[in-house]
Amino acid sequence: MTILLSQQLERIVLAYCEDADTPRSLTVACLLRAREYGQLFKLTVDPLHYLDAESLFLDTQATEFLRKLQLNVKGINRAKVALDSFWESERQCCRTNVRLDRFVHNGPFEDSSDERMVLFIESVRKIIDQWLGPLPQELSPRHGPGATFEDRGKMSTVPDKMSSRPTITASARQLLPLWERTVWARALMHDNSTKSDPKTLRGNRFTTVPKDANKDRGICIEPSLNVYYQLGVGGAIRRRLANVGIDLDHGQAVHRRIACGASRYGTFATIDLSNASDTVSYNLVKAVMPTRWFDVIDVLRSPMTLVKGKWVKLEKFSSMGNGYTFELETLIFAALAQACADSVGVEISPMTGLWVYGDDIIVPTNVADTLLACLRYFGFTPNPRKTFVSGRFRESCGGDFFDGQPVRAHYVKEEPTEPQHFIALANGIRRLAQSHDPNNARWARLRRAWLRCLDALPSSIRRLRGPSSLGDLVIHDDQWTTRTGSGDQGGWELVRAYVPFTQPLAWDHWKPWVILASALYGLPSEGVSQRGAVAGYRVKWITCLEQPEKRVIDIFTKQPLE
């Protein structure tokens, strides 16, 4: 059964499509009116077919407006697409494992090309060894915000995880002496000795999460103690990467700035991979990681996945859901790129010619072809829709640019039903107009869609205007009403905003030893909130502070960015 768009959202999209007035936007409008969602979500835009940024932006926004909206469209089984992708990735990893087996076990080698590959793999391993250095003397393990293998749904807060019987894989049990020193473990032993012996599992379990209208994304939910220490290892790798210039805490903004300049000057290529984390094969990690580091991450990985009630031995090393997967793939892709540049005599280093954030890779254009060939050999699939070596378009980390101008569309990710949803949508549309609009041309095309968002709001909330620095607590506008704060807020300008509030679960939900362990972990004394739990919204006066912009130097022109 196909779920129809709400009338309010349809009016917003149609207003934009009609005002954009391009062949593509009118096609989208026709398909939307006819409820042909399946055809609508199959439309694509190829940036290489455009000659100017504004035409590309208008068509991209029309095409992508609803791309990530979760509609049940006839003929599209999003969960099945994710499951099929899981199996295809496993087959791909299997082929890679077979191809790399001789390099892991030192032969037998077939010809001189194998000897050259041995030298290349050794160079990658040396780079990683140099970047990572020795194992840290101690880890900082932590709980993630989401579910674990047996801590599900609303029962996945930190104190809930500390109350339940931990889960762990057989190989990771050798780390139990570390866990047994924690207040968490000692309290479990005192309260319930049966819970203090973690339950041994064969691995993680497969599930899916929303991605876009055509497919879900497959992830794997790890045993609780595995992910607790995986996050500690991931944090250690992240810190070592930061030491050599790969900053994963602020990397997305950096990538967008570099992609913007690259689209204008053509100096760098942007590379993106399909199903990158699911195609990092076991033998690739074993071949390029220093032994001391490999032993740690190998102990903590899940060797099997529970899929549709059956256990499957994994060909991949780790999946999304593992606490160190993101850092590990960043490390490996960066090292492969560095080794490729070295092999062709191009001098680069992280943050001075090489930028990697997960599977988003930026390298000089004269290194790109070598790196793409390398990635294919090691079992990865460059995404042709997001990989750009030539032309005037570049894309990285959510930033799309044509000849230095932003052309990224705004996506509706959930059906807007409440005021906060329409405020967020209105602000997203406003940002598009302000991103590059010297002659107000974009605003003329977007203004009616913006007004349609405001039409869906009660008049009392429609008046909540304020600066963009306050995010989606206010409607972004050029003018807003303020007042001067009094008391502790004296001297500050205040604006009225639509502010979410939560109702933390009181600590009396849990036993005293859980409260103690949670306090030592660093949780707040007023209680703990479930992930994403918002009790409601209220209108209130808040401080209006414009954040000063950092002055960033453009690496291409050496001038401050606007």
Q: Residue 501: what are its φ and ψ, rounded to 5°?
A: -140, 155
Judge whether 284 and 381 are in contact, CB under 8 Å: no
How far apart CA 240 and CA 293 sit, in angstroms, is 12
pTM (2 d.p.): 0.92
**pLDDT for residue 550:** 41
How far apart CA 207 and CA 216 sit, in angstroms, is 10
How far apart CA 61 and CA 401 sit, in angstroms, is 13
List the chain pLDDT tens, one digit each, 562 residues: 456 789 999 999 999 999 999 999 999 999 999 999 989 999 999 999 999 999 999 999 999 999 998 877 777 889 999 999 999 999 999 999 999 999 999 888 888 899 999 999 999 999 999 999 999 998 899 999 889 999 988 888 999 999 999 999 999 999 999 999 998 998 888 777 777 899 999 999 999 998 888 889 999 999 999 999 999 999 999 999 999 999 999 999 999 999 999 999 999 999 999 999 999 999 999 999 999 999 999 999 999 999 999 999 999 999 999 999 999 999 999 999 999 999 999 999 998 899 999 999 999 999 999 999 999 999 999 999 999 999 999 999 999 999 999 999 999 988 999 999 999 999 999 999 887 666 678 899 999 999 999 999 999 999 999 998 899 999 998 888 888 866 555 557 899 999 999 888 889 888 888 898 999 999 998 888 887 778 899 999 998 865 434 444 555 555 554 4
Helical residues (DSSP H) of 41-111, grouped into ranges: 53-64, 78-104
Q: How far is CA 295 from CA 225, 289, 407, in A?
A: 17, 9, 44
**pLDDT for residue 559:** 53
Q: How far is CA 526 from CA 134, 155, 451, 506, 518, in A?
A: 40, 18, 40, 7, 12
CA atoms within 13 A on the CB side of 304: 16
Strand partners, 313: 304
Using DSSP's 3-state secondary structure scheme, residue 53 falls into helix
Listed in sequence order, the residues at least 6 apart from 235 whose beta carbon sits closer than 8 Å to its beta carbon are: 139, 140, 142, 327
Judge whether 219 and 187 are in contact, CB under 8 Å: no
How far apart CA 307 and CA 289 sit, in angstroms, is 28
Considering only CA atoms, which of 368, 389, 388, 372 is closest in space to residue 380? Answer: 372
Q: How far is CA 132 from CA 192, 234, 245, in A?
A: 40, 12, 12
Using DSSP's 3-state secondary structure scheme, residue 178 falls into helix
Domain annotation for the chain: domains and CATH numbers? 7-67+409-457 (no CATH), 207-221+233-402 (3.30.70), 460-543 (no CATH)
How far apart CA 183 and CA 111 sit, in angstroms, is 57
Treating both helix axes as pointing N-terminal to C-terminal, what angle do 7-20 and 23-33 enclose, rounded to 10 degrees? 160
Q: Please tell me the total number of residues recorded for the chain in this structure.
A: 562
How far apart CA 70 and CA 415 sit, in angstroms, is 8
User: If you compute the radius of gyration of the chain from its CA atoms, what whole number of angstroms results?
Assistant: 26
**pLDDT for residue 238:** 98
**CB-count burial class (<10 Å; 0-12, 13-18, 19+) for 19:** middle
**pLDDT for residue 490:** 53
Query: Which DSSP letter does residue 493 get?
Result: E
Q: Residue 66: what are its φ and ψ, rounded to 5°?
A: -110, 10
Cα 531 to chain centroid distance, Å, stands at 17
**CB-count burial class (<10 Å; 0-12, 13-18, 19+) for 441:** middle
How far apart CA 479 and CA 502 sit, in angstroms, is 30
